[in-house]
Structure 1
Amino acid sequence: MGEPFVIEPEERKPLDTPYHDNMTARELVNPEFGSDNIVFRITEIEPGKRAVDDWHAHDTSEQLFYILSGEGTLRMSETGREEDEEIYDLVPDVFAFIPPGTYHNAWSTGDTPLRMIVIWTPPYESFEDWNVDSDNESDESESQ
């Protein structure tokens, strides 16, 4: 178990994460920073960009989104198939729950970054464990 602490998000360096070229993310707590059970991240997605190059699923982690500012869209599918996807608007004070194994991707649709809290539990072990579907062809819906 880690020691208690209080920090400003800017005190954490932005992550250098695979698949996440269009966003800035700072993990405030994770196993490296004292928590064995949760990852808490502040994420900003650039206007008009996707968070991740392709949609993906986390096999063992629940993921939570809480929108702080900006506008965006979230697509999700339990099967990973385009015909099964559901699309949701992301605006301030919207909350999203993403169960393990649910394919998803978020993108910023406004003129300012989409800023949100992202939580994982249990924490992911490594980015290589993510189930990324680079063959999915639903990118055209993201530019609308």
Structure 2
Amino acid sequence: MERISVDEVENRPNPLGVHGVRRPVSQALDTDDVALVVYELKPGEQFSGGLHTHHDQEEIFYVLSGTATFEVGTDREEVTVEAGEVVRFPPGEFQSGHNHSDEPVRALVVGAPGARHDWDALESMAPCADCGEETSHAVRPPDEDGVMQLVCNDCGTEMF
């Protein structure tokens, strides 16, 4: 058995700088089969770097306080999730979560199966300079400086 205080878990924000507080609880517990992260988003912050999907993992967001807004699917349908509500994204469904409110958001996020990203199973939508439109991109893990690389799946252009 492992027992920890979430507030004592080391803060490890996203390398893209999209939020200030990300506590990887599953790393502190050394889990193998589930990812568990607590986020605290100030107004204007987001959970991840943009519209993305995990082809090998479902994600569940339990909003503990505040109101989170998610863009869902490539058509970016907006879904609002209030404190006490839960939203689930199955593998392959694109989503991006934000705090568009004036109040902080605190959420517990569960990903399964697996406690770590399979970077080959992660896909992100982003503008491609060479294609001239938003396209699907492969995501490479952060380098030694914490910089992730996106690679256009249509033309192969690499973006940092």
| TM-score bin, normalised by smaller chain | 0.7 to 0.9
2:53 maps to: 57
Unmatched runs of 5 consecutive residues or more in structure 1: 138-144
Instruction: Give the counterpart letter for 2:23 in structure 1.
Output: R
TM-superposed deviation, 1:20: 5.0
2:12 maps to: 15
1:133 maps to: 125
1:40 maps to 2:36: yes
TM-superposed deviation, 1:72: 2.2
Q: Distance in 2 between matches of 1:98 and 1:20?
A: 23
TM-superposed deviation, 1:89: 0.8
If asked which structure has higher relative contact order (CA below 8 Å, sep 6+), I would say: 1
TM-superposed deviation, 1:128: 3.9
Unmatched runs of 5 consecutive residues or more in structure 2: 128-133, 136-160
Between Structure 1 and Structure 2, the one with more helix by share is 1
Q: Which among 104, 107, 110 is matched to residue 113 of structure 1?
A: 104
Q: Distance in 2 between matches of 1:37 and 1:72?
A: 26
Contact 1:42–1:118 (Cα < 8 Å) also in 2: yes
Residues 10 and 134 of structure 1, relative CA distance in 2, 3 Å threshold: same
Instruction: Give the counterpart letter for 1:70 in structure 2.
Output: G
Contact 2:14–2:48 (Cα < 8 Å) also in 1: no
Find the residue that maps to 2:7 and give its secondary structure: helix
Q: Distance in 1 between matches of 2:116 and 2:3?
A: 24
Q: Distance in 2 between matches of 1:26 and 1:102?
A: 24
Q: Distance in 2 between matches of 1:18 and 1:109?
A: 21
How much identity, in percent, do the aligned residues show? Answer: 21
Instruction: Give the counterpart letter for 2:7 in structure 1.
Output: E
1:24 maps to: 21
With the length of structure 1 as denominator, give the TM-score of the two structures: 0.77
Contact 2:31–2:115 (Cα < 8 Å) also in 1: no
| Structure of greater Rg | 2
